[in-house]
Amino acid sequence: MPVEYQTHEHDVIVIGAGGAGLRAAIEASAAGVSVGLICKSLLGKAHTVMAEGGMAAAMANVDDRDSWKVHFADTMRGGQYINNWRMAELHAQEAPARVRELEAWGAVFDRTRDGKILQRNFGGHRYPRLAHVGDRTGLEMIRTLQDHGIHQGIKVYMEHTVTALLKDGDRVVGAFGYDRERGYPRLFRAGAIVLATGGIGRAFKITSNSWEYTGDGHSLAYQAGAELMDMEFVQFHPTGMVWPPSVRGILVTEGVRGEGGVLRNKDGKRFMFDDVPENYRNQTAKDPEEGWRYTQGDKNACRPPELLTRDHVARCINREVKAGRGSPHGGVFLDIAWIKEKLPNASEHIKKKLPSMYHQFMQLAGLDITAEPMEVGPTTHYVMGGVRVDGDTQMSTVPGLFAAGEVAAGLHGANRLGGNSLSDLVVFGKRAGEHAAKFAKENRAITPAADQVEAAARALLEPFDRGASTTGGGEGPYKIQYELQDMMQEKVGIVRTEADMQAALEGIQALKTRAAKVGVVGNREYNPGWHTALDLKNLLTCAEAVTRCAIERKESRGGHFRDDFDQKDPKYATFNNVVKKGPGGSMVLERRPIPEMRADLKQVVEENK
Amino acid sequence: MAKATFRIWRGDANGGGFKDYQTEAGEGMVVLDAVHAVQADQANDLAVRWNCKAGKCGSCSAEINGMPKLMCMTRLSDLDLSQPVTIEPMQAFPKIRDLVTDVSWNFRVKTTIKKFEPRKPDAADGTWRVDQADVERPQEFRKCIECFLCQDVCHVIRDHQKTDEFIGPRFLVYAAALEMNPIDAADRVDDLKHKHGIGYCNITKCCTKVCPEHITITDNAIIPLKERVADRFYDPIKRLFRVFSGNK
């Protein structure tokens, strides 16, 4: 019997309602088309709320030497020059306007003495560049976009999940999914679709990401024939909480280091001074005194080594722990309390500058960060890789399918700079929304073929047909998810080797077989077991893409570090790894040469070396 | 590790009841960890909302031993584990399933409040100049994570169901953030009295007590708004002026 479903139609469907999705929906709606915004959770709960430090934009409010050119050069250097340079250019040029626009929509940023938007220091940024609100900038952004968006005539589908994209020939024409509350299947017909689903952090055990981060957009795009690029580059944020066990992985903002926090091993040594990469040497403080002056706004000082790029800091922490110099619970010490030696009112200052960090440690670890050092260690935070898109329009290789934010690849190359994510969301969310609306105006919604809809509907309900293992049905989904997370953490994590990754690839295949037979209990209404069963496919697709790309890149660069090839190799600087679904249904990998950078941009890079 | 008993409400809009689950209470665990452990091992279909697990998204609101709290920020070490820990959905909202409630009313209410409307920019480049001291007032209110625990505990909503006449503490805080935003130029004072039912709040401060973000909801947001309303509608001289000018 055919499965019953409800049909909705919009010119543009945006999947995901974090910063990028909301910004895309606002822009598409402003262009006069009908917009449906689908979010996996309630509106305003997306992972953007977790962003703490700020939003990078060369407004030069604090240091007038800053400009889009310096921001561009910083982004390319941080990404180890395999970024999509066109995206890096647009991002650096347009970010200031996107920040000001947020203020015009109600965001309340911290201020400079002369009343402008205040900007703070962050890793890899040459000048103070992050517009911020204490350490809850992401919440400010999402709330501003949400509160603006609800007055724009956008239809919001809260707690809905998309499980398949539908096509007509090459072009994407719809999405299929369900609502969580009733478990009712839904067909969304659309002229264009924007993916804004965030990342894949749930493929790893220790992560700062929530349950939603199961790589849905990556997987949907892949299944629809789009290309995924740079999937080997996963960012392990250097500072996640490590204790108590239940909070392991929760983010400790880089803002702690921006405000003067230092990293020490168990011997009390500030180990970051021991290993400063060549290409950052002339931008790094010579001694602790200079580092401190930098954090206090001295324009003649260079940044402390704690503010080197995230990939590097994470590896240094990993090295200290492996060498037996870590903290009691397997991390290192991050100390902001020490600034009381420098500031008279340090305790109040810390609470004011880092209120949610103070709160988080007090409540979850019973630790007062104004008095004691924190214990921190690397946590899976972000994926630089994602859907390969056109830099100007954000359209993927599938016509009508757009991607923006973390789910899109290109801007960040091999490593993302802190603060470049929030600006990414709004710069490219806007562009995706604009071009999706344009595409939808030129290509009206069509009804997807019935057999595609039927197949998507069957796949949705299959786990129920198999039922629970207790009644002779399939295995439950949670164990498979945990096994995948453990394996990815151990074998495709911060330090990788060929043998480990080959073993992971075999492990993924075995888990795929088990996942295809997973069964669930209960009924369709708000059933998390069922939701987890459906998400498994996405996690496994992403895990395979990460592993295959990581095996292929036999060097160390940015977020990708190999013990068996621990140096950067210039011949790997000329291409990106791309995976797509092959004709037989298996994943195929290609090396895609990076187009030569425009001469004027090359000059910008040279001038800022 | 010691075992603890969690008495979790299971059911839907048609009814339900408490069911006991035993699970390990490990070091540093929070209530949400215990719920997840139960979900993974004993009740795969146990419905619960959560996202960030760090007190930043406001999804996992529930009533723990009768107190409205975020499950992710309530440590087991702060509870008496010799007794079963009761976990039930927020009582002010319609039930959907297990710990999940229908909070959609809150999203509808927000759209009835006049949106942010910027005043004329201060600088030629279209930007504003504002003192840090002036942004700090709205910033306190903008810490709100929309967990709706204040709405859950407010007796006007919970006991008297005045959801058609009263917007509740969350949206009074929202209105206060807009009214006190130094760049905003819209006027919401008439609406607060006539549409949003600010008069229903009789400042029992229950909302302030449960706020996980420690926003001083009553003193800093609601009372100043009440003062603005009183100033406009109950000031005797202004009232007289209105009588003569014919304005209501």
Structure tokens at A104: 């015009």
What domains lie within chain A, and their CATH numbers?
Answer: 240-378 (3.90.700.10), 452-575 (1.20.58.100)
Q: How confident is the model at residue A16 (pLDDT cuts 50, 70, 90)?
A: very high
pTM for the full predicted model: 0.95
pLDDT at A3 (0 to 100): 84
Q: How confident is the model at residue A413 (pLDDT cuts 50, 70, 90)?
A: very high
Strands A587-593 and A575-581: antiparallel
**Section A48-76 average pLDDT:** 96
Closest CB to A210 among B33, B52, B127: B52
Q: Is A362 on the interface with B (CB under 8 A)?
A: no
User: Which residues 205-264 of chain A have a CB within 8 Å of chain B?
Assistant: 210-212, 243-247, 250-251
ipTM value for the complex: 0.95
Q: Is B223 on the interface with A (CB under 8 A)?
A: no
Which residues face B87 on adjacent strands? Answer: B8, B64
How far apart are the C-alpha atoms of A574 and A557, rounded to whole Å?
12
Fold of B104-245: Fumarate Reductase Iron-sulfur Protein; Chain B, domain 2 (1.10.1060)
Of A10, A23, A257, A381, which is the active-site residue? A257
Strands A160-168 and A155-157: unpaired
**Taking the CB of residue A472, how many other CB atoms lie within 10 A of it?**
9
SS3 content of chain A, % helix, strand, coil (to 5): 40, 20, 40
Start-end of CATH 1.10.1060.10 domains in chain B: 104-245
pLDDT at A2 (0 to 100): 76
- HSE (side-chain half, CA atoms, 13 Å) at A478: 17
Q: Is A97 on the interface with B (CB under 8 A)?
A: no
Closest chain B residue to the Cα of A357, Cα to Cα = B54
Start-end of CATH 3.10.20.30 domains in chain B: 2-101
Write down the mean pLDDT value for chain A: 95
Q: Is the pLDDT of residue A402 over 70?
A: yes
How far apart are the C-alpha atoms of B244 and B225, rounded to whole Å?
26
Answer for the pair B49, B39: CB distance below 8 angstroms, yes or no: no
Q: How confident is the model at residue A554 (pLDDT cuts 50, 70, 90)?
A: very high
What share of chain A in percent tops pLDDT 90?
89
* Region label for B129, one of left (φ > 0), alpha (ψ between -120 and 50) or beta (otherwise): beta
pLDDT at A172 (0 to 100): 97
Q: Is B11 on the interface with A (CB under 8 A)?
A: no
How far apart are the C-alpha atoms of A201 and A578, rounded to whole Å?
20
Q: Which residue has the higher pLDDT, A474 or A300?
A: A300
Across the interface, whether the CB atoms of A527 and B40 are under 8 A apart is answered no
Closest CA–CA distance from residue A364 to any residue of chain B (Å): 7
pLDDT at B33 (0 to 100): 94
Across the interface, whether the CB atoms of B51 and A211 are under 8 A apart is answered yes
pLDDT at A269 (0 to 100): 96
Of A237, A248, A381, A496, which is the active-site residue? A237
Residue type, A97: A
- For this structure, is A257 an active site residue? yes
pLDDT at A1 (0 to 100): 63
**Taking the CB of residue A171, how many other CB atoms lie within 10 A of it?**
15
**Section A398-419 average pLDDT:** 97
pLDDT at A123 (0 to 100): 87
Q: Is the pLDDT of residue A253 over 60?
A: yes
Q: Is the pLDDT of residue A344 over 80?
A: yes
Residue A466 φ then ψ, to 5°: -75, -30
Chain A environment of B97 (Cβ under 8 Å): 525-526
Find where tokens 């600034």 sit. Answer: A339
Query: If you write DSSP's letter for every residue of A417-441 in order, what string do you get?
Result: PTTHHHHHHHHHHHHHHHHHHHHHH
Contacts of B24 (CB under 8 A, 6+ apart): B1, B2, B3, B4, B37
Per-residue pLDDT of chain B (248 residues; tens, 9 = 90+): 689 999 999 999 999 999 999 999 988 899 999 999 999 889 989 999 999 988 999 999 999 999 999 999 999 999 999 999 999 999 999 999 999 999 999 999 999 999 999 999 999 999 999 999 999 999 999 999 999 999 999 999 999 999 999 999 999 999 999 999 999 999 999 999 999 999 999 999 999 999 999 999 999 999 999 999 999 998 888 777 777 776 55
Total CB pairs under 8 A between chain A and B: 170
pLDDT tens-digit readout, A187-223 = 999 999 999 999 999 999 999 888 889 999 999 999 9
**Section A359-385 average pLDDT:** 94
pLDDT tens-digit readout, A2-14 = 789 999 999 999 9
Strands A6-15 and B2-12: unpaired
Contacts of B39 (CB under 8 A, 6+ apart): A478, A528, A529, B46, B48
How far apart are the C-alpha atoms of A7 and A430, rounded to whole Å?
27
How far apart are the C-alpha atoms of A262 and A333, rounded to whole Å?
8
User: Which residues 92-131 of chain B have a CB within 8 Å of chain A?
Assistant: 96-98, 100, 102-104, 107, 110-111, 115-116, 118, 122, 126-131
**Section A248-274 average pLDDT:** 94
CATH code of the domain made up of B2-101: 3.10.20.30
Across the interface, whether the CB atoms of B44 and A476 are under 8 A apart is answered yes
Structure tokens at B176: 């206060």
Closest CB to A526 among B53, B57, B97: B97
- For this structure, is A237 an active site residue? yes
pLDDT tens-digit readout, A491-503 = 999 999 999 999 9
Residue type, A556: S
pLDDT at A533 (0 to 100): 95
Residue type, B66: G
Q: Which residue has the higher pLDDT, B27 or A93?
A: A93
pLDDT tens-digit readout, A291-325 = 999 999 898 999 999 999 889 999 999 999 999 99
Helix (H) or strand (E) holding A291: helix A288-295
pLDDT tens-digit readout, A379-399 = 999 999 999 999 999 999 999
Across the interface, whether the CB atoms of A49 and B116 are under 8 A apart is answered no
Answer for the pair A420, A75: CB distance below 8 angstroms, yes or no: yes
Q: Is the pLDDT of residue A242 over 70?
A: yes
> Which candidate, A120, A133, A148, places its Cα nearest to that of A61?
A120
Residue type, B90: M
Closest CA–CA distance from residue B79 to any residue of chain A (Å): 14
pLDDT tens-digit readout, A102-156 = 999 999 999 999 999 999 988 899 999 999 998 899 999 999 999 999 999 999 9
Query: If you write DSSP's letter for every residue of A315-352 in order, what string do you get?
Result: HHHHHHHHTT-S-TTSSEEEE-GGGGGT-TTHHHHHHH
Q: What is the dihedral of CA A338, A342, A348, A354, to 10 degrees?
A: -60
Q: Please, what is the angle between helix A528-552 and helix A498-515, to 10°? A: 150
